[in-house]
Structure 1
Amino acid sequence: MQRYQTEERALRYWHKPHRGRGAFETWAVIVECHRRWGRGEDGQIRREYAWVLAPVASPLRGAWPQHIIDALNEDDGHVHDHAQNTPFDETEEAETLSAGDRYRQLTAAAGRTASNRSERSRRSEVDRYFRSPAAREAVLLRSGGTCENPRCLGHPTELTDAGAPILEVDHVNEVGNGGDDIPETMIALCPNCHALKTRGRNRRQLRTTLLRIARQRHRTFSRDES
């Protein structure tokens, strides 16, 4: 990945669904590399690299859109390190934090990532889909393992094989449409409620409700001194 980024070469993007067969989807170029905290399948926090990919129709540079070329020209190959101001400190001091303090710490980290995107550039048009792991972790912490839709009719007690709640962290206003990647505009939903929010007949009304709930829970949790 690092070599393809340095050489500005297109790579094949394949997708393999769980228990399915892999299939070629598109060519893509790497416009940025991020270093961040993530959580592995074993549930443990780890440092990981995330490359921002931009789809292109062909491996031939002459066929790439101009905004992709501009993004590549802006990229200096520097790794954007979101782990340096770690919101996932595993020290003993971090373990004594209250849920409210932990939430505020994660929210602040997500805010720093969001503020770094405030300056518009060709590259920022491409990397707008990069998600802040701190924002996602904050929303999951706030949810307490339960769908945040107040009218949820799903299965709140169901768990994955790893014992984790079956929740999907969603942006009420999609990032690709200008939504913010911060906890106060994000919400944890079970798969059923996520589908209703995305494709349901009453999705517009539901989105209004979910945004209100997300902001309300954010304010409440931010004040939590427990």
Structure 2
Amino acid sequence: MNGEGRTSESRSRTAYQRSEVVRKHALRVADGVCQGCSDDAPFLTDGGDPFLEVHHLYRRSEGGADHPKDVIALCSNCHRRVQHGRNGGEFNQN
């Protein structure tokens, strides 16, 4: 292929420092259960820990804090629902 019809885009992103202590706190509080759907974590990591993703309730890019009261642990599906779902904002508020 010669690349005709392709476009390229360049985007810049700001990376926000995230606290490992806050991440561990959110996972400890969740205790292996998604705080969005209340299902058990979908699988265990190589280390034997339940796999959940830490989600900031308020986007860091919009001034949200990297603080234990502002994070929860979600399964991959719930995390994607919050970020990309039609009702993600409403789901996040609940």
Is TM more than 0.5 here?
yes
Q: Specify which structure has the higher proportion of helix.
A: 1
Matched with 2:86 is 201
Q: 1:156 and 1:130 mapped to 2: Cα distance?
A: 25
Q: Which has the higher strand share?
A: 1
Aligned-partner Cα distance in 2 for 1:204–1:159 = 28
Could you say which residue in structure 2 is the equivalent of 1:171?
56
| Structure 1 CA distance for aligned equivalents of residues 38 and 80 of structure 2 | 12
- Aligned-residue offset at 1:205: 0.9
SS of the residue 1:165 aligns to: coil
CA contact (8 A) 2:32 2:50 kept: yes
- Is the aligned partner of 1:145 residue 2:29? no
Which residue of structure 1 aligns with residue 68 of structure 2?
A: 183
Rounded to whole Å, the distance in 2 between the matches of 1:176 and 1:144 is: 28
Cα separation, 2, equivalents of 1:156 and 1:135: 19
Q: Report if aligned partners of 1:166, 1:190 keep a CA contact under 8 Å in 2.
A: yes
The CA distance in 2 between the partners of 1:136 and 1:161, in whole Å, is 18
Across the aligned residues of Structure 1 and Structure 2, the Cα RMSD in angstroms comes to: 2.1
By relative contact order (CA 8 Å, sep 6+), the higher-ranking structure is 2
Q: Which residue of 2 aligns with 1:133?
A: 20
> SS of the residue aligned with 1:141?
helix
The one-letter code sitting in structure 2 at the alignment partner of 1:169 is V
Percentage identity across aligned positions? 36
Larger radius of gyration: 1
